[in-house]
C-alpha cells in the first residue's frame, strides 16, 4: 500500500486507529502541543480570531470553526479571553470538526459554548454566515504519499510485508510522476498530500463564498527540499514509523506552498508562512505574559509565589517562541477575504 493509505489506517481505523482509541496529548500521552503548553497560545489565537470578526464588520452571526480541537484547550482559552468583547460570543455558532470519539468527549467537557456542534468533515459546515477557522497541528496528521528519486525518476514508496511478516518500505518499480523530478538529487523524496490540498481548497472555497478568515498553524515549511519527514512519536520519543501502527502518532511536516497556492486558486488572499515565534510576538505574547505574571486578567495561577509564577510563564513563552524550541519549526499561515492582513501579518507576507 502507499504511505497515505498506511497513515490513514494507522491513524483513523474504526477500531484500532490511533486517534480512534486514545487521547494522545499531554505529559502522560505521546506528544504535547502549543495550547497544552500554555494558556497564552489559545488566548492570543482568540484575540486574532476576534480581530478577524471585527474586520468582517462584527456580523451578528458567524461560524467559528476549529479543526482537530484535541482536548478543547485552545478553544476554551480563546473563548475565555474574548468573553468581554461586546457581541462576539452572542454572534458565534461554534463548530468542532473532529473524528475522534475520545477527544470529542473531552472537548465537550471543556468547551461550554451553548451552540457547539460536532462535525466529521468540513462538508457539513453551514454556509449561511461568514466563517472564522483555526487548525493547530491538524494538517500534519493528514496523509501524505512519498516518491523517491531513484535512477530514471520518481518511484512511489510503498509499504509491504517481508518473509518474516515484518512491514518494510519498498519502491514501486514503475516510474511515476514524470516531469516532476527536475533538479531532484538521487535518494531525495517528494511528499505530496492530496488530502491536505483538498481540505485547504474546501476551506478557501467556503471563505470565498461566505467571507471570513482562517489560521493554520503547524510544523513544516514552504517547501520540504527533498527530506523524508514521515515520523512516528510515542511517549514523547521518536519511534520507527512502521513498528507500531495505531499505537504511535504518525505525521509529516506540512509543505505550505501547495496550501497557499490552493487558497489563491479559490480567490482568497493568503499570508505567510510566518514563524510561530514571530507571529506570537507580533500579536502580543510578551504583554500577555507580563499581565498574567502581574496576576491580572484571570490568570488563575493556583497559589505559588510571584517569582515562581513569572518563571513558569517565562518558560512557557520560551517554549512557544524560542528558535531552538517551537518558535521557528512551527509556522502560521492565514487566509482571508478581508482587504487587509489578518492579526500578526503584514502586507509583506502576502502570498501571490
Ligand atoms: N489542535 C489540538 C490537537 C492536535 S492533534 C492541539 O493543538 O492540541 C490532532 C487533532 O486532529 C486531534 O484532535 C485529532 O483527533 C484530530 N484529527 C485527526 N484526524 C482528523 C481528521 N481527518 N479530521 C478532523 N480531525 C482530525
Query: What average pLDDT does the chain have?
Result: 94
Q: Which helix (H) or strand (E) holds 318?
A: helix 306-321
CA of 17 from ligand 1 middle (Å) equals 13
If you take atom 16 of ligand 1, which residue's CA is the nearest one?
A: 68
Task: Give per-residue pLDDT as tens, 75-111.
Answer: 999 999 999 999 999 999 999 999 999 999 999 999 9
Alpha helices (H) in 65-117, listed in sequence order: 73-81, 88-91, 101-110
Per-residue confidence (pLDDT) for residue 20, from 0 to 100: 87
Per-residue confidence (pLDDT) for residue 299, from 0 to 100: 47
The pLDDT of 253-266, averaged and rounded, is 98
Structure letter (DSSP) for residue 306: H
Hey, which of 98, 124, 219 would you mutate to test ligand 1's pocket, going by the most ligand atoms within 8 Å of its Cβ?
Answer: 98
CA of 139 from ligand 1 middle (Å) equals 8
Percent of the chain past pLDDT 70, that is, above it, reads 97
Per-residue confidence (pLDDT) for residue 297, from 0 to 100: 45
If you take atom 15 of ligand 1, which residue's CA is the nearest one?
A: 100
CA of 153 from ligand 1 middle (Å) equals 35
CA of 327 from ligand 1 middle (Å) equals 21
CA of 67 from ligand 1 middle (Å) equals 7
Task: Give per-residue pLDDT as tens, 130-145.
Answer: 999 999 999 999 999 9
Indicate the pLDDT class of residue 28, thresholds 50, 70 and 90.
confident
Indicate the pLDDT class of residue 320, thresholds 50, 70 and 90.
very high
If you take atom 14 of ligand 1, which residue's CA is the nearest one?
A: 68
pTM of the model: 0.96
Indicate the pLDDT class of residue 304, thresholds 50, 70 and 90.
low
Hey, which of 17, 19, 44, 195 would you mutate to test ligand 1's pocket, going by the most ligand atoms within 8 Å of its Cβ?
Answer: 19
Class of residue 245 by CB neighbours under 10 A (exposed 0-12, middle 13-18, buried 19+): buried
Task: Give per-residue pLDDT as tens, 188-201.
Answer: 999 999 999 999 99
Per-residue confidence (pLDDT) for residue 26, from 0 to 100: 75
If you take atom 24 of ligand 1, which residue's CA is the nearest one?
A: 98
- Helix (H, G, I), strand (E, B), or coil: what is residue 347? helix
Q: Which atom of ligand 1 is nearest to the CA of 24?
A: 5
Ligand 1 cavity residues, CB under 6 Å: 19, 25, 33, 35-36, 67-70, 74, 97-100, 103, 136-138, 141
The answer on pLDDT for 302 being more than 70 is no
CA of 200 from ligand 1 middle (Å) equals 15
Which strands sit side by side in the sheet containing 249-251, from one edge to the other?
237-239, 231-234, 249-251
Task: Give per-residue pLDDT as tens, 134-187.
Answer: 999 999 999 999 999 999 899 999 999 999 999 999 999 998 887 788 889 999
The answer on pLDDT for 275 being more than 90 is yes
Indicate the pLDDT class of residue 38, thresholds 50, 70 and 90.
very high
- Separation in Å, CA 44 to CA 49, 86, 342: 9, 18, 13
Residue carrying the nine cell digits 487587509: 340
CA of 103 from ligand 1 middle (Å) equals 9
Hey, which of 70, 199, 217, 332 would you mutate to test ligand 1's pocket, going by the most ligand atoms within 8 Å of its Cβ?
Answer: 70
If you take atom 6 of ligand 1, which residue's CA is the nearest one?
A: 70
CA of 68 from ligand 1 middle (Å) equals 3
Indicate the pLDDT class of residue 10, thresholds 50, 70 and 90.
very high
**Strands 145-150 vs 153-161: parallel, antiparallel or unpaired:** antiparallel
Q: Which atom of ligand 1 is nearest to the CA of 195?
A: 22
CA of 54 from ligand 1 middle (Å) equals 27
Per-residue confidence (pLDDT) for residue 4, from 0 to 100: 97
**8 A C-beta contact, residue 100 and residue 20:** yes
The answer on pLDDT for 202 being more than 50 is yes
The pLDDT of 41-58, averaged and rounded, is 98
The answer on pLDDT for 34 being more than 60 is yes
CA of 45 from ligand 1 middle (Å) equals 17
Amino acid at each position: 500500500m502507499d504511505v497515505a493509505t498506511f497513515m490513514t489506517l494507522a491513524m483513523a481505523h474504526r477500531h484500532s486507529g490511533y486517534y480512534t482509541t486514545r487521547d494522545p496529548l499531554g505529559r502522560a500521552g505521546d506528544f504535547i502541543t502549543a495550547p497544552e503548553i500554555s494558556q497564552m497560545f489559545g488566548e492570543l489565537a482568540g484575540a486574532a480570531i476576534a480581530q478577524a470578526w471585527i474586520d468582517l464588520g462584527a456580523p451578528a452571526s458567524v461560524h467559528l470553526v476549529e479543526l482537530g480541537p484535541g482536548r478543547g484547550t485552545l478553544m476554551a482559552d480563546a473563548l475565555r479571553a474574548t468573553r468581554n468583547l461586546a457581541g462576539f460570543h452572542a454572534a458565534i455558532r461554534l463548530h468542532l470538526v473532529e473524528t475522534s470519539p475520545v477527544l470529542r468527549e473531552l472537548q465537550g467537557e471543556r468547551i461550554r459554548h451553548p451552540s457547539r456542534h460536532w462535525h466529521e468533515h468540513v462538508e457539513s459546515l453551514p454556509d449561511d454566515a461568514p466563517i472564522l477557522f483555526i487548525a493547530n497541528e491538524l494538517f500534519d496528521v493528514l496523509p501524505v504519499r512519498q516518491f523517491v528519486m531513484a535512477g530514471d525518476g520518481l518511484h512511489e514508496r510503498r509499504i509491504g510485508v517481508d518473509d518474516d511478516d515484518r512491514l518494510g518500505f519498498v519502491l514501486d518499480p514503475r516510474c511515476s510522476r514524470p516531469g516532476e523530478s527536475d533538479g531532484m538529487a538521487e535518494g531525495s523524496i517528494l511528499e505530496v498530500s492530496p488530502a491536505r490540498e483538498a481540505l485547504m481548497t474546501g476551506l478557501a472555497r467556503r471563505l470565498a463564498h461566505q467571507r471570513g478568515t482562517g489560521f493554520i498553524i503547524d510544523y513544516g515549511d514552504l517547501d520540504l527540499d527533498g527530506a523524508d519527514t514521515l515520523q512516528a512519536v510515542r511517549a514523547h520519543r521518536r519511534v520507527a514509523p512502521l513498528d507500531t501502527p495505531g499505537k504511535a502518532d504518525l505525521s509529516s511536516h506540512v509543505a505550505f506552498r501547495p496550501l497557499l497556492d490552493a487558497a489563491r486558486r479559490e480567490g482568497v488572499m493568503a499570508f505567510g508562512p510566518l514563524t510561530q515565534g514571530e507571529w506570537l510576538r507580533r500579536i502580543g505574547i510578551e504583554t500577555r505574559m507580563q499581565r498574567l505574571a502581574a496576576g491580572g486578567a484571570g490568570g488563575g495561577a493556583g497559589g505559588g509565589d510571584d517569582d515562581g509564577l513569572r518563571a513558569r510563564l517565562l518558560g512557557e513563552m520560551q517554549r512557544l517562541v524560542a528558535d531552538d524550541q517551537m518558535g521557528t519549526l512551527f509556522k502560521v499561515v492565514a487566509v482571508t477575504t478581508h482587504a487587509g492582513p489578518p492579526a500578526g501579518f503584514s502586507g509583506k507576507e502576502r502570498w501571490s
